[in-house]
Amino acid sequence: MSPPAILAQHRTLPVVDELAGLFTDGGIRQGSTIEVTGVAATSLASALTIAVSHFGGWVATVGLPTFGPSAASDLGIKLSRWAFVDHPGDQAGVVIHALTAGVDLILVGPDIKLRSDHGRKIVARMRERGASVITVGKAAPCNLRPDLRLRVTQAMWTGIELGHGRLTSRKVEIERLGRGADSNLRRELVWLPNKEGRLNAFNRKNKPVNLSQSPHRVSKRLFDIDEPVCRAS
């Protein structure tokens, strides 16, 4: 008889300091689902993986064919720790379920749709193995219930003045909403990227947000990396 699986409970995956304030435990709880939405959802989801890859973890994307390795490396992501499944087709559920056994963090694209039975099996495997999922877009089409929602409510590029120049940096405001006892709404401001191409904190303080206010306005390059990428179709 095989030994019983140890369920992931209070263990966390690391995130960079600039984003750690979005998480109650300072990192991504293993076995959890995070929903990332808004105008810079892919950039934010990517930034959440930086520390995982640099501390030896594995990351995979499913259904994100437009996600470019060059953009990822600009943020300092260690691409030798990544695998890409661009077009899983109707096997997306099978692919994600299989990946939970071997990777730490899975990014799922906005066009992926899963049956409810696939969603239940994936959640059970995530909790057993300690893998976490980030949905780029709403989690509902994947039949996953997010433990944490992150939404980019504002994104403002700078660098163009009087019609001249080029875009050099983007300030984004991230709205964070948890579940249950962790349901306080917070906001965090970061440069994603700053004018050097890096992820940088704009304001490290997380302040409670008045729910009566409307948050719906939409007005790291840490290392130079050139590494092989594992990409499957």
The answer to whether residue 81 is domain-embedded is: yes
Model confidence pLDDT, tens digit, residues 200-226: 888 544 443 332 333 322 223 332 333
177 and 108, same structural domain?
A: no
Go through 215-224 and write b for each residue having 16 or more CB atoms within 10 A of its CB, e for each that does not. Answer: eeeeebbbee
176 and 118, same structural domain?
A: no
145 and 183, same structural domain?
A: no
pLDDT over 50 at 64, yes or no: yes
120 and 46, same structural domain?
A: yes
User: By mean pLDDT, which of 36-45, 94-103, 166-175 is the weakest?
Assistant: 166-175
188 and 127, same structural domain?
A: no
Structural domain range at position 97? 12-151
Q: Across the strands, what pairs with 169?
A: 158
Is 185 exposed, middle or buried, given 0-12, 13-18 or 19+ CB atoms closer than 10 A?
Answer: middle
The answer to whether residue 112 is domain-embedded is: yes
Name the DSSP class of 129: H
What is the total count of domains within the chain? 2
203 and 143, same structural domain?
A: no
The answer to whether residue 124 is domain-embedded is: yes
The answer to whether residue 163 is domain-embedded is: yes
85 and 134, same structural domain?
A: yes
143 and 35, same structural domain?
A: yes
The answer to whether residue 4 is domain-embedded is: no
The answer to whether residue 173 is domain-embedded is: yes
Model confidence pLDDT, tens digit, residues 71-116: 677 778 888 999 999 999 999 999 999 999 999 999 999 999 999 9
